[in-house]
Chain A
Amino acid sequence: MNVIFCMMLLAGVVAAAISGGLNEAQAALLSGGTEAVSFCLSMAGAYAFFGGLLGVLRESGVTAEAARMMRAPMQRLFCFAPGEEAALDDICVNLSADLLGMGGAATPAGLSAMRKMAAAHAPGEPPSEAMLLFLTLNMCSVQLLPTTMIALRAAAGARNPADITLPTLTATGVSCAAAVLLCKFMSAGRKRRV
């Protein structure tokens, strides 16, 4: 992150110096923060609304129920190495929280799942099949309702801010399916080489 930020700033200023646009650069630097504040304010209402809905779902126990329902299919999907099943509960909480768009609840459970799976292996061992699959799934977002994008589109004055829901869901589904297939393919290849 650090590198990206520094590169962006340096590239911008250097490009401005070369093309003689230092005036524009100065204006952009001074207005960027203001833009961020008004942008956040324009999204605040929709964000609070989605936060509220998710709060109701969480306190109704829907999240816990979703995690419980995912246990059996997840057990089959992950092909755990011995000792790794200890992470199953955390994996279910992580994936169902992701699905419902509760990033705040998903990350701690996901990190704890990774730690539990790592504990089943000797330190310094390369990541296992289940760990790589779990990591890859977390690197493709699985979300039922793209709340941030809906809030962003509402702030930008879209006619129907939620009309990207189905395409987004399909795109996520396709990319997750591709990730799972590739992971299974790669691990099969790895086994054959050993």
Chain B
Amino acid sequence: MKYLSIDQCDAFYGDQKVLECVSLDVDKGDVVSLIGPSGSGKSTLLRVLVGLNQPTSGRILLEGEAIDYKNRRSLKKARERFAIVFQQYNLFQNMTVLKNVTVAPVKIQGRPKKEVEAEAVLLLEKVGLGEKLKSYPDELSGGQQQRVAIARSLALKPEILLLDEVTSALDPELVTEVLDTIRLLAKEGRTMIIVSHEMGFVLEVSSKIAFMDAGRIIEVGEPRKILEQPDTDRAREFMGKILRH
């Protein structure tokens, strides 16, 4: 039995099919990277996993149990196990850094505030923001905000972390600090699905890479193989273009 299994999923934006028969298996501790051109469905796949887009057909199984995205309780349970970090961070603008990280564990999961806050401080120190607890998001740089967003998702103790192009809204200088944080998480053996255009980084941290195009997964495999000797023409063409610069 696979840990997480995406089984022939379709998804639509309005009339447009954005995912077509996508299947992907993820083992515990895997770091799976989704790569491919813009609009190929990478982000959509992450959004489908957390129920922001509903799959129209196919199944998603967590430890053998299908998530019913139409059922609130099932969706809620799934969302306790997944955490997503968005490209645009999406921190709550009206809350301090500390509040952003603690609000869901305290108010939604009902855990004791003291304990959560102590953990949150440790998490924020880990991502290098121990000094910024009382700051508001608009007082931070993009890279700092993104690290807060990562801390916020970790505070919920998710089993699977979904990272949606977390560095593409950042200055080149700030990319490093966020990538370092993710490297740290990969070393800890956390299960992650990463959408990224940072090929060097993807090669380094991934245990598996899936290449997507036009809503389909074209090729899945070992990182080096997919990046350097892909089987399909489409993947070869894509790698050829991105490796040239």
Q: Do the two chains belong together in a single complex?
A: no
A: which residues have CB within 8 A of B? none
Q: Which residues of B contact A (CB under 8 A)?
A: none
